[in-house]
Structure 1
Amino acid sequence: MTFTKTTEQSSKHEHLEKMSVQELLSNINQEDKTVPFAIEKALPEIESLVTEIVAKMKLGGRLFYIGAGTSGRIGILDASECPPTFGVPFDLVIGIIAGGDTAIRSAVENAEDNATQAWIDLKAFNVNENDIVVGIAASGTTPYVTGGLLACNENNITTGSISCNAESPLSQTAKFPIEVVVGPEFVTGSSRMKAGTAQKLVLNMISTATMIQLGKVKGNKMVDMQLSNSKLVDRGVKMIMSEIPVSYEQAADLLKKHGSVRNAVDYFTAQ
């Protein structure tokens, strides 16, 4: 099969500068609606990757995301939200971006073109065979990401990928590839749009499904979430009240003493 970068093909929409604000928003929205359907086609591949991640984590492994530009930033976003949401250690899910932390806010020239740097960045975390590394690249051709996965393969580290072109070099490299083919962007080549949305949705699915499989959710509640602000404390109190017969004040006291919804409920039910 011939590799074609549909993410770089010309937009289906012409003369964007002549559109009204309403037309721009409507057309962007119409394009965005196609993303979930593209993801639906990739559900079997997403399932395979999640199953492998869960197995690795049960053995003490970690999940790494590597990417450049928008893809790297989205990976870091998902990784950074796992500790407060699910109460896991900050180093269980790790996002790495080409160019380092500076690249989170500002583009770092030529960072994504370095095919050897990702392995150097991963080794700084002592990546090993218990871990799994997922490369994220809309094009499926980013040297930083592809090079990182090649090095992982050579060192017996399990690899996955998320890209938005069919049969890309990245997919050929990863052991567990996911392809979400969203087609040309509204603004030609602007993969921060549909491709970025697709990557974010897939990462939501991966991390959430993984954490649920690892027991970090009870019922439909984030019982291990970090209580880092008053909104979350209030949410935690109400979660406790929905699980055990206590008043708001009693639930708040239990939460303060035991540090998490899970611990508070477990303590109460054990009495």
Structure 2
Amino acid sequence: MTFIKTTEQDSKYNHLEKMSVSELLSNINNEDKTVPLAVGESLQQIAVLTEQIVEKLKNGGRLFYIGAGTSGRLGVVDASECPPTFGVSYELVIGIIAGGEIAIRKAVEFAEDSKTQGWLDLQAHQISDKDVVIGIAASGTTPYVISAIEKCNENNIITGCIACNKNSPLATVSQFPIEVVVGSEFITGSSRMKAGTAQKLVLNMISTATMVRLGKVKGNKMVDMQLSNKKLVERGQKMLAIELNINQNEATQLLKKYGNVRNSIKNYKK
């Protein structure tokens, strides 16, 4: 099938510099509204990959995201939010970005063009066939990501991807591809916009559904969250007060004694 890079197609809008602020915002918003619908078209692909992830993590594996630029940053963000939200180890979900840590804040020239560094970056984490690797690339053509996924396949590691073009090279080499086709961007080629939003939505879905299936949520509450600031402590106190039908002071003492919401519920005695 022919590969068409829709993420690079010309914007539906022209003469942006002549638009008022209100017009710019309204048009951007209209384009953004199409993104959840595009994600909805890919739910089956997302489900199939997520099932694979859950199974591997239940058996001691890890989840890796690997990408460059905006795509890499989005993977790092999602991975970094799993420990405080769900109380898991920082080694369970790992985000890797082309160019390393500095690339999170500053573009590293030509880092995404390397056909060897992606696999080296994964090897630094002792990657194995227990793990799952998701390549993230809006275009689906990033050499750093594609080559890393190819090496994972050679080493019997389950691979998936999140791309925003249909039939991209990345999707072709991934065992469980997710393709969310959002079309042209408001600013031609600026895939940090709709494509980035789509990737963020998919990452939210994958990590959240995985953690729920791993038992990291009770009812609809983050009972394993890290109590790392005042807001989260207060949230934990409220959870306990409602769950155990106790007052604020009792909830506070339980949290101090047992460290988190789940342990407090488990060890509570009337």
TM-score (norm 1): 0.99
Deviation at 1:223, TM superposition (A): 0.1
Q: Which residue of 2 aligns with 1:99?
A: 99
Match in the other structure for 1:191: 191
**2-structure distance, mates of 1:66, 1:186:** 26
CA distance in 2, matches of 1:200, 1:49: 16
TM superposition shift of 1:242: 1.1
Q: Which amino acid aligns with 1:43?
A: L
Structure 2: runs of 5 or more not aligned: none
Aligned partner of 2:150 in structure 1 is 150
Find the counterpart in structure 2 of residue 85 from structure 1. Answer: 85
SS at 1:159's partner residue?
strand
Per-residue deviation, 1:245:
2.2
Separation in 2 of the partners of 1:67 and 1:60?
23
CA distance in 2, matches of 1:131, 1:174: 14
Taking the aligned partners of 1:14 and 1:20, their CA distance within structure 2 comes to 13
Q: TM-score of the superposition, structure 2-length normalised?
A: 0.99
Counterpart of 1:10? 10
CA distance in 2, matches of 1:256, 1:175: 46
The 2-side partners of 1:171 and 1:247 are apart by: 53
SS of the residue corresponding to residue 187 of structure 1 reads coil
SS in 1 for 2:65: strand
- The alignment status of 1:175 with 2:148, answered yes or no, reads no
Q: What secondary structure, in the 3-state scheme, does the structure 1 residue paired with 2:79 have?
A: helix
RMSD of aligned alpha carbons: 0.6
- Return the alpha-carbon distance in structure 2 between the equivalents of residues 32 and 245 of structure 1: 42
Matched residues in 1 for 2:24 and 2:108: separation? Answer: 30
- Secondary structure of residue in 1 paired with 2:94: strand
Quick one: which amino acid aligns to residue 221 of structure 1? Answer: K
Same amino acid, percent of matched pairs = 67
Structure 2 matches for 1:112-127, cutoff 5 A? 112-127=112-127
Q: Which runs of 4+ in 1 moved over 4 A?
A: none
Counterpart in 1 of 2:209? 209
Structure 1 position 246, deviation (Å) = 1.3
Instruction: Name the residue aligned to 2:19.
Output: 19
Count how many residue pairs are aligned between Structure 1 and Structure 2. Answer: 270
Deviations 1:106-131 (A, max 9, x none): 00010000011010000000000000
**Which residue identity is paired with 2:59?**
L
Q: Secondary structure, in 3 states, of the residue corresponding to 1:162?
A: strand
Alignment match, 1:234: 234
What are the Cα deviations for residues 189-219 of structure 1, in whole angstroms up to 9, with x where unaligned?
Answer: 0000000000000000000000000000000
Q: Aligned partners of 1:38 and 1:157: how far apart in 2? A: 28
* Residue ranges of structure 1 left out of the alignment (5+ in a row): none
